Amino acid sequence: MANWVMDYETLINCFVAVFTNHKEDETKVFVVHKLRDDFKEFHEFLHDNKFDQSWHISFNGIAFDSQITEYLLREGDELLGQDPEFIAHSIYLKAQETIERSNAEEFPVYSERDLSIRQLDLFKLNHWDNPAKRSSLKWIQFSMDWHNVRDMPIHHSTYIKTQDEINTIISYCINDVASTKQVMMLSKEQIMLRKALTNEYNINLYSASEPRISKELFLHFLSAKTGIKKYDLKQMRTRRTEIRVADIILPYVNFKRKEFNNLHDKFKSLVIDPQNLKGAFKYSINHKGVKTDFGFGGVHGATKAGIYEAKDGMIIMTSDVTSFYPNLAIRNGWAPAHIPRKEFCEQYEWFFEERKKIPKKDPRNYVYKIILNSTYGLSNEENSFLYDPEFTMRITMNGQLSLMMLYEMLSESIPGSIPLMQNTDGLEMMIPANYKDVYLEVCSKWEEMTQLQLEHDQYQKMIIGDVNNYIAVFKEKEIPKDDWDTMKKKTPHYVYTQRDGKYFFNATKCKGRYEFSDLALHKNKSALIVPKTIYNYFVHNQVPEVYMQQNRNIFDYLKGVKKKGDWHFIMTCFTKGKRIDTELQTIVRYYVSNKGCKIIKVNKSDGREIQVESGRWLQTEFNLYEIKPWKDYDINDEYYLAQVYREIDLINKKKETSQLTLF
């Protein structure tokens, strides 16, 4: 049995299907057009796939490609022997109907459980259908440094006349299938996890996102524990018109200082409208010169931008609450109001305790982590059987206040303490080294009071832009000699040193603008040369110009933008004083060059124009990768260095004039 990575292209009088074996180097191409009619062979191939119980592996296949497949399996016999243009047009009409239903947010004609051929949808599996992570295959190609991120050059409404046009469509489709196969390879561990879960619980989770896995498995376990049928549980919700925060604040919450008591009073005065949460609550306090912000989503605070290093008798402590949000619910016996509290809390705690027994390499550890972390989010999702916004607010409101209690207790107990950061489930604080025991004692008192647990570590240095953008260098740790080479190869950006025949390393953590390693594919990886250069400057003391001269990987200089709403992209060039505009595709990959053109966003409604890179910078479109000598790319180093030094300047708060003469 062969499984197939696949994709369809449906045009008004031409249909192209490409299938690549998920293991072997084997590709099948089917065309339905008057110049080439493979419909009979294609129809037989689909029926063979159905009979063999093959899998179709796709990007957004459940919502689109599988709908075409099922239509042809059910009604294809009637198309056999028909004119190929009639067949291609029939498929086209089905495709357009499918797209229209999707755009109208209607369910597909054929549900996943009714499909004749089993589906593995990488789009759904990776949760790229979620608004916060939404990503097209083109964007994922950009994130993977794929060689070709070009859109289909022929519009679906074009009447295809020539073999050259057909060849263009085939080449485009092959490129999409090859990149989808690469996504499959990158998702291999996640696929194997879903296979194991599907087999163990007899629930089809092959294309399930992490939140859906959490929802389905919690439903499975909770149904068994409560005796309530899954169908009945799925219908349950607790809807509220208001939530009085004073009624849900934990009794142990208590403060000494005025700014924290004011915070406490502010929370107690809140009456929340669960249907109007966005932007409805914002509050800030200032403690020891550090501004800390509060909202319905969590707490965020950081000291001013700068470099904070553990020296001159100081250390930097970092402390996080273990599974903070799940444990707040577990330790306080909270549950959505419509679910039996005892059973919910016992089941929720079981996931937590079981996870602690299981090695991190065991897939079940990861599954229980998903369930623990997703439950909070699902309690605020109206389509979830866990929906109860008061449960959500109990967690987030008390989480913020509890963390602020720890913040105040540490600040009050340790003279000379310097708060650095507070962020949702933990904090960082610089303290005199001789107060470390006091720090840990205070944390123990807080743990006893809250019944929560803290995990501690130490940083050697923090490079802070703001609360969401920082680099942390952990305290040095010894490593066995036998692990030295392996670890350096795995994490070459860490700090490695040898001393007195011993081997040491400093792990590092980068957040926000300074992230460059192991980025999730839906994130924007534009101009990785910038965070890489910043990192090497602050962590390895490398001069930016020198590092950039050593890193001549063109993909690190590329940037990506994607079309949104009524906007589209054009490339504007000037030749002999004449402006020439070229329409660009929905995803544009480019770099900043010395000689080039301007990429401009244009609003279709009112004609407004916004430069993608404002000012004097020029761009070169690079949707198709080309191998050239470095100088021929014509990269504008000045642009990238300007971005690097802007961040360095933000942190250092002073210009290093010897390195800034260009700017």
User: Tens of pLDDT along 107-120?
Assistant: 999 999 999 999 99
Kindly report the CATH number assigned to the domain that includes residue 30.
3.30.420
pLDDT tens-digit map of 287-305:
999 999 999 888 999 999 9
| pLDDT for 360 beyond 90 | no
Whole-angstrom Cα distance, residue 91 to residue 77?
13
Mark whether 182 and 270 lie in a shared domain.
no
Using the structure block, give the residue that is written with the tokens 């899998």: 55
Mark whether 321 and 269 lie in a shared domain.
yes
Instruction: Say what the alpha-carbon torsion angle 422, 427, 428, 429 is, to the nearest 10 degrees.
Output: 90
Q: Residue 152 has what DSSP assignment? A: P
Q: Which of 450, 474, 498 is the last residue of a domain?
A: 474
Residue 52 lies in a domain: yes
Query: How confident is the model over 243-267, as a mean pLDDT?
Result: 96
> How does residue 597 score in pLDDT terms, banded at 50, 70 and 90?
very high
Claim: this prediction has a pTM higher than 0.85: yes
User: In total, how many domains does the chain have?
Assistant: 2
Q: Please report the pLDDT score of residue 22 as a whole number.
A: 96
Q: Which two tokens stand for residue 322?
A: 């273990």
Q: Which amino acid is at 400?
A: Q
Give the residue among 404, 441, 444, 415 at the shortest CA–CA distance from 257.
Answer: 404
Domain that holds residue 439: 243-337+388-474
Kindly report the CATH number assigned to the domain that includes residue 248.
3.90.1600.10
Residue 299 lies in a domain: yes
pLDDT tens-digit map of 603-643:
999 999 999 999 999 999 999 999 999 999 999 999 999 99
Mark whether 11 and 71 lie in a shared domain.
yes
Q: Please report the pLDDT score of residue 280 as a whole number.
A: 77
Mark whether 162 and 63 lie in a shared domain.
yes
Mark whether 315 and 429 lie in a shared domain.
yes
Whole-angstrom Cα distance, residue 290 to residue 597?
44
Query: How confident is the model over 5-14, as a mean pLDDT?
Result: 98
Q: Please report the pLDDT score of residue 203 as a whole number.
A: 95
CA neighbours within 13 Å on the CB side: how many for 219?
21
Residue 313 lies in a domain: yes
Backbone angles phi, psi at 218, to 5 degrees: -60, -40
pLDDT tens-digit map of 400-452:
999 999 999 999 999 999 999 999 999 999 999 999 999 999 999 999 999 99
Whole-angstrom Cα distance, residue 394 to residue 330?
12
Mark whether 135 and 38 lie in a shared domain.
yes
Mark whether 51 and 188 lie in a shared domain.
yes
Residue 372 lies in a domain: no
pLDDT tens-digit map of 89-108:
999 999 999 999 999 999 99
Mean pLDDT of the chain: 94
Q: Please report the pLDDT score of residue 660 as a whole number.
A: 37
Burial 16-43 (b: 16+ CB within 10 A, else e): bbbbbebeeeeebbbbbbeebbbbeebb
Contact (CB, 8 A) for 476 and 504 = yes
∠ CA 507-510-514, rounded to 5°? 140
Q: Please report the pLDDT score of residue 278 as a whole number.
A: 79
Query: How confident is the model over 267-280, as a mean pLDDT?
Result: 88
> How does residue 279 score in pLDDT terms, banded at 50, 70 and 90?
confident
Q: Which of 425, 449, 474 is the last residue of a domain?
A: 474
Mark whether 287 and 418 lie in a shared domain.
yes
Mark whether 280 and 415 lie in a shared domain.
yes
Residue 166 lies in a domain: yes
Residue 410 lies in a domain: yes
Q: Which of 458, 474, 490 is the last residue of a domain?
A: 474
Mark whether 108 and 16 lie in a shared domain.
yes
Mark whether 144 and 288 lie in a shared domain.
no
Mark whether 189 and 319 lie in a shared domain.
no
Residue 302 lies in a domain: yes
